[in-house]
Amino acid sequence: GKRTGRRNTVTTVSAYGGNAREPLEREGALRKAVRQGALEAWLQPVVSLASGQVTGAEALVRWPRTDGGITPPGEFIPLAEATGLIGDITAFMLERVTDWGARWHRRRHAPITLGVNLSGLDLQGDGVVPLVRRLLAEHRLPGQFLMLEITESRFMQDPHGARDMLEELRALGVRIAIDDFGTGYSSLSYLHRLPLDCLKIDRSFVHQASRVSGRRTLFGAIASLGRGLGLTTVAEGVENLADARLARDLGCDALQGYLVSPPLPAATFAERYLGDTPV
């Protein structure tokens, strides 16, 4: 499970170059990477099932290693959350995404929505709303082109506090997605009370759902729940055509997954999907 795996993933030393063995050294290495701007925001396309067009992308943080490899977020987000560095990472991701979003918005015919993952800690502090407000204003980006993704379990830690903050973000025009839907321990009763725009259906219901009937049943139920609540539904982790067709047949609005593309460096994303020539 997510929780018990944390310690182990954090102590997987290979990701930190082999010599940063102690927790303090790992923390120091991450702090340095954050301060020096060594982290990167990669983008994974989100494709509309109605049009087949890329209508958005999710930003996913990457930590490049000195050996040319990449440390995936699962190996340092928990450390970032434990050490308070997550706020800086969120700010960095929001900065990148609003900057690119504004540039692409000015240049492009069809608008795309860029998603940023928020941590539960971002919901607890009171810095995110003013930060988002400032970045949207600075970059002159209409709020609707920013989507903030929050996991179901994060909502449930403090549904009332979360609702107030989401209302403020919504007032800026920003869209809100509930992430990894179906994996938390939530009662459904709060769903219609939260100001949500989008429901991202977790990969565990989507992957191979065309072949596994139990999964298909849950996938379908979640998709119709989302639709019934008037939310946009995105199927995550679509790796093959059969699952993509199923997502369409179940009434999902969009999909995301390796079938279309893995997360890409932003320049590659822009070149491939927005026709931007690299500078």
Query: Where on the chain is the footprint of ligand C2E (CB under 6 A)?
Result: 44, 60-61, 72-74, 77, 89, 93, 117, 119, 179-180, 203, 237-239, 256-258, 263
DSSP-derived 3-state class of residue 32 = helix
Beta strand pairing call for 264-265 and 54-64: unpaired
- Give SS3 for 143: helix
From Ca ion, ligand C2E, none, interface partner of 56 (C-beta below 5 to 8 A by class): none
Residue 96 interacting partner from ligand C2E, Ca ion, none (CB closer than 5 to 8 Å by kind): none
| Closest approach of ligand C2E to the CB of residue 82, in Å | 13
Instruction: Assess contact for 231 and 237: CB atoms under 8 A.
Output: no
Q: Are strands 40-48 and 54-64 parallel, antiparallel or unpaired?
A: antiparallel
d(CA 253, CA 49) in angstroms, rounded, equals 6
Pattern of binders to Ca ion over 198-237, x per CB under 5 A? --------------------------------------x-
Tell me the residue number closest to ligand C2E, measured at CB.
257
15: helix, coil or strand? helix
Q: Report what 113 binds from ligand C2E, Ca ion, none; CB cut-off 5-8 Å by kind.
A: none
Partnered with residue 114 across adjacent β-strands are 57, 146
The minimum distance between CB 106 and Ca ion, in angstroms, equals: 26
Name the minimum Å distance from CB 155 to ligand C2E.
14
- If the CB atoms of residues 22 and 241 are measured against ligand C2E, the closer one turns out to be 241
Give dist(CA 191, CA 8) in Å, integer.
33
Question: Rounded to 5 degrees, what angle do the CA atoms 103, 87, 59 make?
Answer: 40
Which parts of 68-127 interact with Ca ion (CB under 5 A)? 117
Q: Does 179 bind Ca ion (CB under 5 A)?
A: yes
Contacts with Ca ion in 130-149 (CB under 5 A)?
149
